[in-house]
Amino acid sequence: MNNPNTVTTLINKTAEFDVAKIRADFPILNEKIHGKPLVYLDNAATAQKPSHVIEVLNDYYRETNSNIHRGVHTLSEKATAQYESARNKVKDFVNAESTKEIIFVRGTTDAINLVAQSFGRDTLKAGDEIIITELEHHSNIVPWQILSDQTGATLRYVPINDAGELILEEFEKLLNNKTRIVAVGHISNALGTINPIKTIIDKAHAVGAKVLVDGAQAVPHTRVDVKALDCDFYAFSGHKLFGPTGIGVLYGKEALLDAMPPYQGGGDMIQMVTMEKSTYNVLPYKFEAGTPHIAGVIGLGAAIDYVNELGLEAAAQYEIELLDYANEQATQVAGLNLVGTAKNKTSILSFTLDGIHPHDIGTILDGEGVAIRAGHHCAMPVMERFNVPATARASFAFYNTRQEVDALIQAIDKCQKVFN
């Protein structure tokens, strides 16, 4: 049972954070699924979009659509100004030193592949070592496997404990003067574990390695300060931050990006092209070949305006309290096993039900209007570690409510009645 003081604190905090008002900003939350109110608990896969983002995208295509960085006409200048203004918003959002350090890419996956190929292929050789972890999303595993095949570098994995936390002593044992890159997720998409990335970054730097942080699950739930972290690269996706799909960000320290060769060749990334050779554009354009996702960038800027206005810190606090509530309810369900019980975790409830396959849980819950993800969550090594083929995963955002947690628990109950 809660102690009464905690309950009072929760009620006060919930009152400060006006969820009903916030929900009104997200039109999709009024949808009905199979005749029931949508309970959207698949935010780790992609988050919903506020009207502000939808309207900015709509306005862009209605009033401004034009290609950037090349036209002398009014619309092109307007589109370019909006695109570059969004870059400035991203720079401030992650507290980068300069807009030269903000590269627009398709998403986290694209950002990590860029670093693996442009930085990694240029720098690594046989005998060098790359450290990742057992907690990673496939996007932060496969690009490093490809790089190690290409270069002969060895890939090492930091193991996790039974709670789903990285074992830091094992990380320290793996570090040595051959470690060139450490690539680690800030928050696990499969379990919700918040990793101690500042400690990881400092320890990696002490042996001279560069650090990439996969921030896909972190930016919607926590304030990121790349200067304070001192990470070398930080990657995230717009669509998990309430912005459009198909757009993401690679932050990189300017000196590193400057020394890296281009990832792709094409328009906009060059200074001069002759039939013999080309010279490349300055940062950040060197890494933005071809017509970019202009509307996506402007939409991402609008999403950042939205979360800044909302206050990520207050949202994060609300989400922690919501997860506590969900945990409390879930642990009372007989036959429900939580997967991932890290002390420091956020927004994700991964679980299995005795005798019921996660895909069946997903289907029954959908019938009740409750959207969760069932599967391996593109983190097959995590599933292997916990000896399960898959989990059911409810993932929360600041617009979710305790009533929705109750709807989840009722739908789980129905699922157990159907199968047992």
List active site positions. Answer: 378
Choice between 79 and 244, CB closer to ligand 7TS: 244
Q: How far is the CB of 216 from ligand 7TS (least distance, A)?
A: 3
Q: How far is the CB of 189 from ligand 7TS (least distance, A)?
A: 3
Which 338-397 residues touch ligand 7TS, going by CB under 6 A?
373, 377-378
Binding to ligand 7TS by residue 237, rule CB under 6 A?
Answer: yes
**From candidates 43, 48, 109, 401, binder to ligand 7TS by CB under 6 A:** 109
Are 184 and 197 in contact, with CB atoms under 8 Å apart?
yes
Choice between 57 and 241, CB closer to ligand 7TS: 241
Stretch that binds ligand 7TS, among 31-39, 53-61, 136-144, 223-231 (CB under 6 A): 136-144
Q: How far is the CB of 289 from ligand 7TS (least distance, A)?
A: 18
Tokens 């009722």 — which residue?
410
Choice between 79 and 247, CB closer to ligand 7TS: 247
Choice between 64 and 237, CB closer to ligand 7TS: 237
**From candidates 139, 347, 350, 400, binder to ligand 7TS by CB under 6 A:** 139
Token pair of 382 as six digits = 């995590």
Which of 104, 256, 263 has the alpha carbon at shortest distance from 180? 256
Rounded Cα distance between 236 and 217, Å, is 8
Choice between 79 and 201, CB closer to ligand 7TS: 201
Closest residue to bound ligand 7TS by CB:
189
- 352 forms bridges with which residues in the sheet? 337
Q: Is 72 buried (19+), middle (13-18) or exposed (0-12) by CB count in 10 A?
A: exposed
Are 321 and 329 in contact, with CB atoms under 8 Å apart?
no
Which of 347, 358, 297 has the alpha carbon at shortest distance from 318? 347
Whole-Å CA distances, 392 to 27, 75, 126, 354, 365: 26, 47, 40, 12, 10
**From candidates 39, 44, 114, 219, binder to ligand 7TS by CB under 6 A:** 44
Which of 239, 249, 221, 237 has the alpha carbon at shortest distance from 310? 221
Residues that bind ligand 7TS (CB under 6 A): 44-45, 107-109, 137, 139-140, 185, 189, 214, 216-217, 237, 373, 377-378
